[in-house]
Structure 1
Amino acid sequence: MLSLVHLKVLAAVARHGSVTEAAAELHYSQPSVSHHLARLEVATGAKLVQRIGRGIRLTPEGQLLANRAAEILGRVDAATNELAAQVGLRAGRVRLAANASTLSTIVPAAAAALAGAHPGLELSLFDRHPAESLDMLRQGEIDIALVYRHADAPAEEEGFRLAHLRDDPVYLISQRPGDSLANHRHSAWIGGCEHCQNELDAACRHEGFTPRIASHSDDMVVVQSLVAAGIGVAILPGLALQAHRRPDIHATELTGRHRQIYAATYGSPPDPPAATAVLAALADAAASSTTPRRTTRRNDG
């Protein structure tokens, strides 16, 4: 019979690839970890680990079970938090992951509102890209993920529930006011993450060219500094400019280009009271957030 202790041990071994490091994390002895792995193999009837030199690695069956173990353990942790939150929101913890632009704009406003309305609620925050956030959500490591999608992005897989918070306009970042994408078909561009790069490619393709990526950065501060130094041009979402805005760069809104900001949860409704309170605070904060000033609107879409 599988036990949570056995699954906890397997998940730790999968994370570290080492019995020694798993034992250190769990505060178990190495023989104890090996014993739990052996018991788990007996219970499942499958070979879960292989000896490789002085180390070990998971078999395909072991990796499959380890993935499920991480999800099960995450769900148990979430259930514990939900039970605590059920007591009138006097206690409980909600774990939330978001990317930098939302984590520095929408989330702080929501956190401040929650602190006043529900002082017993603990909000734990993680700075992650959307894909990482959704993976953490699926594994039960967090309760809510703030993510963004573009209009032509494929839908998330089954199991995720998305609540639309707002649309976030996209801006061309350059040294000239009233600029346009077409003016920069031969310019050097600053690329970002995979999703940002897809967004940039689509916008430039609409203008009949492919951007020449000369530099890369996911950091909104770095991107604006590079643009101000004349190293290249870039595009950024409005929330990034709301979080940080240099006075020596110009932002031109690209009409028809925007990101859709969502709060994602996983599994069947309803959400526990603590998560519901956080979702409501996020919706209020998103609705009241403002677009960046000193911008020019231009139809490049």
Structure 2
Amino acid sequence: MEPPEAIEQVSAGEADAAIIFRYDTLPHFLRIDETLHFEPLGADPLRLLVRRSSAIGKAYERNREPVDLTAAHAETWIAGCATCRANLLKLASRAGFQPDIRHSTDDYWATQNLVEMGMGVSLVPTLDTKIHVQDDLVACALRDADASRQVGILTRVHDARESLGLLRNELAETARHYLQPIPTVE
């Protein structure tokens, strides 16, 4: 389930824990109150998913330099879940444009298929690209430092059961292999 629904499940006691993501660009988008605890596991940078044959794809393949989000300002867009869509709108606004969102899906495979068919471009998490990116697509690194999400575990405050401690430890160990450390603010 998406983060808002997962938060509701943990808050209501329907679930003991949830792995959720959140965006620093949207600090108040998710309602995590004082009864819940979010423990970040790592950062998951976003990528711009484009067709390899597009101008952006060709340029990225040629030099492997991160691209600016503005490179896709004139493209049609495929948005994700409500949280991801809000993040896309925020990032695009900061970059000085309004994305022309024509499609919306929270299914990564459907997103790939839509991009492959030339229906638009999309922001996707790096984690999704570790599974598989179709041969005629490229997931371009982005230059924007805010183009990232935090992935973490959500539990109820003061829930100190041993099983949750073991879960946290296993998730933290796994996250070290797939997520980047979260930059510290000084």
Selected match of 1:169 from 45, 67, 77: 45
* Alignment of 1:236 onto 2:121: no
Structure with the bigger percentage of helix: 1
Q: Deviations over 1:103-126 (max 9, x none)?
A: xxxxxxxxxxxxxxxxxxxxxxxx
Q: CA deviation at 1:241?
A: 1.3
Following the alignment from structure 2 to structure 1, what is the Cα–Cα distance between the partners of residues 42 and 18?
15
Q: CA deviation at 1:182?
A: 1.8
Q: Deviations over 1:175-194 (max 9, x none)?
A: 11425422322221111211
**Could you tell me which residue of structure 1 aligns to residue 105 of structure 2?**
217
Runs of 5+ in structure 2 lacking a partner?
Answer: 52-56, 61-66, 181-186
Following the alignment from structure 2 to structure 1, what is the Cα–Cα distance between the partners of residues 80 and 139?
17
Q: CA deviation at 1:247?
A: 1.8
Give the total of aligned pairs.
163
Runs of 5+ in structure 1 lacking a partner?
Answer: 1-127, 292-301
TM-score, scaled to structure 2: 0.82
Which amino acid is the alignment partner of residue 21 of structure 2? Y
The 4+ residue runs of structure 1 with deviation greater than 4 A are none
Contact 1:151 1:259 in 2 (8 A): yes
Q: CA deviation at 1:290?
A: 6.2
Q: CA deviation at 1:284?
A: 0.4
Contact 2:49 2:122 in 1 (8 A): yes
Q: Deviations over 1:137-174 (max 9, x none)?
A: 01111111111111132262111111110000000111
Which amino acid is the alignment partner of residue 274 of structure 1? S
* Alignment of 1:266 onto 2:156: yes
Contact 1:148 1:262 in 2 (8 A): yes
Q: 1:280 to 1:286 in 2, by over 3 A?
A: same
**Could you tell me which residue of structure 2 aligns to residue 74 of structure 1?**
none
Q: Percent identity?
A: 26
Following the alignment from structure 1 to structure 2, what is the Cα–Cα distance between the partners of residues 193 and 169?
17
Task: Name the SS for the 2:142 alignment partner.
Answer: strand
RMSD (CA atoms):
1.6
**Could you tell me which residue of structure 1 aligns to residue 18 of structure 2?**
145
Which amino acid is the alignment partner of residue 263 of structure 1? I
The structure with the largest alpha-carbon Rg is 1
Contact 2:36 2:155 in 1 (8 A): yes
- Structure with bigger RCO (C-alpha 8 Å, 6+ apart): 2
Q: CA deviation at 1:253?
A: 1.4
